[in-house]
Chain A
Amino acid sequence: MTRGQRDQLDLLRGTPDRFILRSLHFGLRHGHSMAHTIRLTSGDALRVDLGSLYPSLRRLERRGWVAADRGTSEHNRRARSYRLTRAGKRRLTAESSKWGLLTEAIARVMRPREEEG
Chain B
Amino acid sequence: MDWARLWHELVFVLRRLAGRRRAEHDLDEEIRAHLELETRENVERGMSPEEARDAALRAFGNVTLTKEESRAMWGTRSLEMLWQDVRYGLRMIARNPGFTAVVVLTLALGIGANTALFSLLDAILLRTLPVKQPEQLVVVGASVPGQPGRGSSPFSYPVFRELREKNSAFSGMFARSVTPMSMSGVGQTERVLGELVSGNFFSVLGVNPHLGRVFAEADDQTPGTHPVAVISYNFWQRRFGADPGIVGQTMSLNGYPFTVIGVAGQGFQGVEIGTAPDVRIPLMMDGQVRPVSGPPIFERRGNMWLGVMARLKPGISLAQAQAATDTAFQVAREPDVRRIKGDTPDDGSFKSLHIQLDSAKTGASSLSRQFSQPLITLMCLVGIVLLIACLNVANLLLARASTRQKEIAVRLALGAGRFRLVRQLLTEGLLLSALGGALGLLFARWGTGALLSFLPQGRIPTVLEIKPDLRMLGFTLGVTLLTGLLFGLAPALQATRPNLVPALKNETVVVGNRRWELRRLLVILQVALSLVLLVGAGLFMRSLQNLKAVDDGYNPDQVVTLALDPAQSGYKLDQLRSFYALLSERVAALPGVKSATYTRNVPISGAYSRIGIEVPGYQPRPGEEMAVLFNQVDSQFFATFGTPLLRGREFNAQDTPESPKVVIVNDRLARYFFGAENPLGQRITLENYQDLEIVGVVADAKYRNLKEAAPQTAYIPFAQYGTLTQRTLCARATGDASALVTAIRREVRSLDPNLPTFNIKTFADQINESVSRERLMALLSSFVGLFALLLASLGLYGVMAYAVARRTREIGIRMALGARAGNVQWLVLRETLLLVLIGVTIGLPVASVATQLTEGLLFGLTANDPLTIALATSMMIAIAALAGYLPARRASRVDPMAALRSE
Contact = CB atoms under 8 A, between A and B. Distances in A.
B59 interface: yes
A64 B73 contact: no
B73 A80 contact: no
B34 interface: yes
B571 to A, nearest CB: 79
A68 B99 CA distance: 50
Nearest to B73: A58
B74 A77 contact: no
A9 to B, nearest CB: 18
Given A50-B59, A50-B60, A55 B69 contact: yes
Given A54-B70, A55-B66, A63-B5, A75 B60 contact: no
A31 B72 CA distance: 18
Contact of A62 (B9, B27, B36, B59): B9
A55 B61 contact: no
Given A50-B61, A51-B60, A80-B30, A32 B38 contact: yes
B33 A30 contact: yes
B59 A63 contact: no
A51 B64 CA distance: 10
B29 interface: yes
Interface string A53-92: 0111111011110001010010101111000000000000
B343 interface: no
B845 to A, nearest CB: 47
16 contacts: A31-B34, A50-B61, A51-B65, A54-B30, A55-B69, A61-B12, A62-B73, A63-B9, A64-B8, A70-B26, A73-B37, A75-B37, A77-B33, A77-B37, A79-B29, A80-B29
Contacts of A31: 30, 33-34
Contacts of B300: none
Interface of B, secondary structure class, is: helix
B12 A62 contact: yes
A49 interface: yes
B62 interface: yes
- State which size class the interface on B falls in: 20 to 34
Interface of B: 5, 8-9, 12-13, 26-27, 29-31, 33-34, 36-38, 40, 59-62, 65-67, 69-75
A54 B9 contact: no
B660 to A, nearest CB: 93
A62 B13 contact: yes
Contacts of B75: 62
Interface of A, secondary structure class, is: helix
Q: Which 3 A-B pairs have CB atoms at the shortest separation, nearest pair first?
A: A58-B73, A51-B61, A55-B69
Nearest to A35: B34
A32 B35 CA distance: 8
Nearest to A78: B29
Contacts of B71: 58
Nearest to B37: A32
A55 B70 contact: yes
A73 B32 CA distance: 12
- State which size class the interface on A falls in: 20 to 34
A77 B30 CA distance: 10
A73 B13 contact: no
Given A63-B9, A64-B12, A58 B74 contact: yes
A32 B42 CA distance: 13
B73 A59 contact: yes
A34 B452 CA distance: 71
Nearest to B30: A80
Contacts of A58: 70-71, 73-74
B305 to A, nearest CB: 62
A62 B33 contact: no
A58 B73 CA distance: 6
Contacts of B69: 51-52, 54-55
B27 A54 contact: yes
Contacts of B8: 63-64
A62 B26 CA distance: 15
A54 B46 CA distance: 27
A32 B29 CA distance: 13
Nearest to B40: A75
B33 A49 contact: no
Contacts of A78: 29, 33
A61 B685 CA distance: 95
B31 A54 contact: yes
Contact of B34 (A32, A49, A52, A63): A32
A60 to B, nearest CB: 9
Nearest to B34: A32
A51 to B, nearest CB: 4
A111 B902 CA distance: 83
Given A31-B34, A58-B70, 9 more contacts: A32-B34, A54-B27, A56-B73, A61-B12, A62-B75, A79-B29, A79-B33, A80-B26, A80-B29
A78 to B, nearest CB: 6
B66 A54 contact: yes
Interface string A18-55: 00000000000011100000000000000001111011
Contact of A51 (B29, B37, B66, B73): B66
Nearest to B72: A55
A55 B37 CA distance: 19
